[in-house]
């Protein structure tokens, strides 16, 4: 499959798809953290019409996220930035690509109105092999819900808050926003394993077993069944 990972500098989701044999590319205004030749530095909007089978996008959430809604009332200049953020989100959602996932934190009510599409599901890192909590929403078009691989909720919530909510408690500094925005490895692997599953991978799959599709299918379970 030809896969675009829009707004990704870390390469996490791109690598998960490439490990399964997909022609996956990341794109961000920033250079990639891993200096990959499969990263395009530039505006993702310019790439949307290039014949992708699937796009996973991580657009900026600063002005859309519920956690920042209070600032709208004290910093009126943020309304214009909210409008721009929602317009970017909608442009990604309306891309001429048959399968689209947009990932973002829980949006506030103004963002929800301006985006105009409801998210399909809310996921947590502890559903995908991590002992951490960070609610993340997925807007899905042409894709099934992402199935949980683990349920480490109890173990996660038993940890000290600074560990269970590591990204929330990240120390102030130049890299704080990066620590908070990088996609979790387990979520990236689940996206590739499940949404790339109708694609026949090459006979030998590089990796440590966690990205092996068959092994993953044997260990994952469905909530509520
Ligand atoms: C919340 S971060 C997502 C990071 C991602 N989860 C990762 O692991 O790399 C949002 C990213 O969107 C990028 N971005 C903003 N506008 C963009 C655009 N027009 N085209 C491509 N990337 C853009 C930013 O540079 C930033 O890296």
The 10s digit of each residue's pLDDT in 44-66 is 999 999 999 999 999 999 889 98
- What's the pLDDT at 67? 85
Residue with the nearest Cα to atom 25 of ligand 1? 29
Q: What is the average pLDDT score of the chain?
A: 87
Residue with the nearest Cα to atom 26 of ligand 1? 7
Return the biggest CA–CA distance within the chain.
57
Give the CATH number of domain 2-219; options: 1.10.1060, 3.40.50, 2.40.160, 3.40.109: 3.40.50
Q: How confident is the model at residue 101 (pLDDT cuts 50, 70, 90)?
A: very high
What CA–CA distance (Å, rounded) separates 187 from 177?
A: 19
pLDDT surpassing 60 at residue 107: yes
Is the minimum distance from the CB of 44 to ligand 1 under 6 angstroms? yes
Report how far apart, in Å, the C-alpha atoms of 149 and of each of 40, 67, 69 are: 31, 27, 32
- What's the pLDDT at 63? 86
Is the minimum distance from the CB of 80 to ligand 1 under 6 angstroms? no
Q: How far is the CA of 159 from the centre of ligand 1 (A)?
A: 30
pLDDT in tens, 84-99: 999 999 999 999 999 9
pLDDT surpassing 80 at residue 173: no
- What's the pLDDT at 199? 55
pLDDT surpassing 50 at residue 211: no
pLDDT in tens, 110-150: 999 999 999 999 999 999 999 999 999 999 999 999 999 99
What CA–CA distance (Å, rounded) separates 152 from 157?
A: 9
pLDDT surpassing 70 at residue 223: no
Residues in the chain, overall count:
225
What CA–CA distance (Å, rounded) separates 51 from 4?
A: 10
Q: How far is the CA of 204 from the centre of ligand 1 (A)?
A: 32
Average pLDDT over residues 166-186: 80
pLDDT surpassing 70 at residue 197: yes
pLDDT surpassing 70 at residue 218: no
pLDDT surpassing 90 at residue 170: no
pLDDT surpassing 50 at residue 217: no
pLDDT surpassing 80 at residue 32: yes
- What's the pLDDT at 174? 67
Which of 4, 5, 6, 9 to mutate to test ligand 1, by most ligand atoms within 8 A of the CB atom? 9
Which are the contacts of 14, defined by CB distance < 8 A and separation ≥ 6?
3, 5, 8, 24, 25, 26, 36, 38, 39
The share of the chain scoring above pLDDT 70, in percent, equals 87
Which tokens in the block code for residue 189?
């692997």
Q: What share of the chain is helix, strand, coil (3-state, %, to 5)?
A: 35, 15, 50
- What's the pLDDT at 181? 87
Mark residue 116 as left, alpha or beta (left: phi above 0; alpha: psi -120 to 50; beta: remaining).
left
- What's the pLDDT at 203? 52
- What's the pLDDT at 195? 97
Extents of the domains making up the chain: 2-219
């Amino acid at each position: 499959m030809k896969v675009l990972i829009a707004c990704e500098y870390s390469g996490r989701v791109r690598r998960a798809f490439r490990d399964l044999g997909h022609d996956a590319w990341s794109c961000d205004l920033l250079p990639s953290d891993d200096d990959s030749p499969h990263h395009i530095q530039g505006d993702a909007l310019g790439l949307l019409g290039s014949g992708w089978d699937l796009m996973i996008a991580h657009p900026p959430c600063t002005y859309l996220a519920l956690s920042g809604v209070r600032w709208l009332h004290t910093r009126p200049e943020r309304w214009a930035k909210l409008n721009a953020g929602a317009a970017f989100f909608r442009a990604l959602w309306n891309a001429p690509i048959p399968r689209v996932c947009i990932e973002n934190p829980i949006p506030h009510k103004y963002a929800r109105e301006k985006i105009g599409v409801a998210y399909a599901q809310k996921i947590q890192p502890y559903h995908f092999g991590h002992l951490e909590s960070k609610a993340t929403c997925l807007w899905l078009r042409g894709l099934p819900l992402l199935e949980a691989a683990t349920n480490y909720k109890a173990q996660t919530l038993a940890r000290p808050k600074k560990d269970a909510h590591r990204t929330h408690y990240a120390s102030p500094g130049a890299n704080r926003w990066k620590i908070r925005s990088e996609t979790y490895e387990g979520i990236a692997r689940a996206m590739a394993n499940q949404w790339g599953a109708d694609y026949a991978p090459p006979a030998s799959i590089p990796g440590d077993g966690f990205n092996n599709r068959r092994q993953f299918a044997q260990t994952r379970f469905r909530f509520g069944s």
